[in-house]
Amino acid sequence: MVLAETAGVAAPAWRGGFGRLWSAAVLSSFGDSLRTAALPLLAVSLTDDPLLISSVAACGYLPWIIFGLLGGAVADRVDQRRAMWAADTVRALLVGGFAVAVALGHASIGLLIALAFALTTLQTLFDNAATALLPVLVEPGALGGANARLMTGQRVAGGLLGGPAVPLLLAAGAAAPFAANAATFLVAAALVASLRVSGPERPPRPAGSTLRREMAEGLRALGRDRALRGLCAATALCNVGMGALIATLVVIVTGWLGAGTKGYAAVLTAYTVGSLVGGAVNSRIVARLGRMRAVLLAGAVQIAALVVMGVVRHLPVTVAALTVFGLMGMVWNVNTTTLMQQRSPAGMLGRVSAAFRTLSVAGAPLGAVLGGAVAAVWGPNSPALLTAGFFVLSVAALIPARAADVVVGAPDDGVTTAHVSR
């Protein structure tokens, strides 16, 4: 019997490779949080030029726009497991070398920018390969649960454990967070290399096929599927809003609310806690509503949370709103990723994932600029309302795709990945 998976809520088995992949992903998130927290502090110590400092953050977006599609095409050509451990090994060497430079006093802002760009470039290959490998390690019905556990573990490691560890490591020297990050990359590479699985089945490549043509095929596959097309447009609109919110959240909390750095820490913690709750309750929401409708619900609730943030000038209310916002953000992320994995054509998940991420991330830098502009003109609370507006457009873009929750036999759209029950 052939079924198109829609809302499977089974729990993934830790054996069979998923446990090692989860451990590698969580460990890498912990190491990444150490580095991303230490980089701005190091940048400020090296230069007082705001443009140079912001360039470090920009390098977190730029490689996805430049190399995202290429990373997906390569991930579909090679063994994903080998691509992942090779990328992590190179990242370990780069960060380890940078840690030595910092320890010896040879760090510079140019070297820091180059490091951020190189690491994110390698991440385009790693993330697309990981997205394509996960469906091989778990049963089709457990894919949503696997994504939830992965994202929740990464949020715990990066949001709750990484932040408090940075001051302790910095006490040992400015190079310590980077050395620790290099170690996490090496251990994660070893865990992925120990997997004994073959990649997903791939149809034979046509003679004369080029990377450029294969990247274009990924874009076309994304565009042909109504659900994926709607999800990509919705996520792109969300990311414009998120860029505005993230860039100005510190202004909202410390300026408009007058809550200071403690208030800022409180809202960040609230968002992380909400995300963890979202990972825990996602399967119940999906079981009741279906996966696409769960995404629609998440977007609608986030709109309400953003309006509350932009209208009510009270820190406890903002903390509560960001808790709800984080909860529904996790529901959105888990289910958009799962739908992409379920509906991508066989052998093309890396390219579809790359097209989806590249198109959706492109709006974040624009959003950051818009957020700063509206805050300067209409006040520090206005970016939250601007973000709510983009989320309204996002939910509207999803409405035509809501029928994706209907279970079908023998998909005839040429796009949905069919899973054979095992």
Q: Name the burial class of residue 327, with classes exposed (0-12), middle (13-18) and buried (19+) by CB atoms within 10 angstroms of its CB.
A: buried
Q: Which CATH architecture has domain 215-404?
A: Up-down Bundle (1.20)
Residue 338's identity, in one-letter code, is: T
Q: Which CATH architecture has domain 15-198?
A: Up-down Bundle (1.20)
Q: What is the model's pLDDT at position 170?
A: 84
Q: Considering only CA atoms, which of 359, 411, 343, 361 is closest in space to residue 131?
A: 343
Is there a contact between 155 and 58 (Cβ–Cβ < 8 Å)? Answer: no
> What are the residue boundaries of the structural domains of the chain, listed by start?
15-198, 215-404
pLDDT in tens, 393-416: 999 999 887 665 544 333 333 333
Q: What is the model's pLDDT at position 420?
A: 29
| CB count in 10 Å sphere of residue 197 | 14
H helices within 10-79, ranges in order? 18-46, 50-58, 62-77
Q: What is the model's pLDDT at position 2?
A: 29
Q: What is the model's pLDDT at position 314?
A: 94
Those residues of the chain that have pLDDT short of 50 are 1-8, 406-422
Is there a contact between 192 and 84 (Cβ–Cβ < 8 Å)? Answer: yes
Q: Considering only CA atoms, which of 327, 334, 73, 2 is closest in space to residue 221?
A: 73
| CB count in 10 Å sphere of residue 321 | 26
Distance between CA atoms of 166 and 49, rounded to whole angstroms?
A: 24
CA angle 413, 418, 420 (to 5 degrees): 155
Q: What is the SS3 assignment for 3?
A: strand
Q: What is the model's pLDDT at position 206?
A: 65
Q: Within 13 Å and on the Cβ side, how many CA atoms surround 266? A: 17
Using only C-alpha atoms, what is the Rg of the chain? 21
15-198 and 215-404 agree in CATH topology: yes
Instruction: Dig out the tokens for 272 from the structure.
Output: 């992380």
Sign of the alpha-carbon torsion through 188, 190, 192, 194:
negative
Q: What is the model's pLDDT at position 251?
A: 83
Q: What is the model's pLDDT at position 44?
A: 73
Q: What is the model's pLDDT at position 268?
A: 84
DSSP at 172: T
pLDDT in tens, 54-85: 667 667 677 888 888 888 888 888 888 999 99
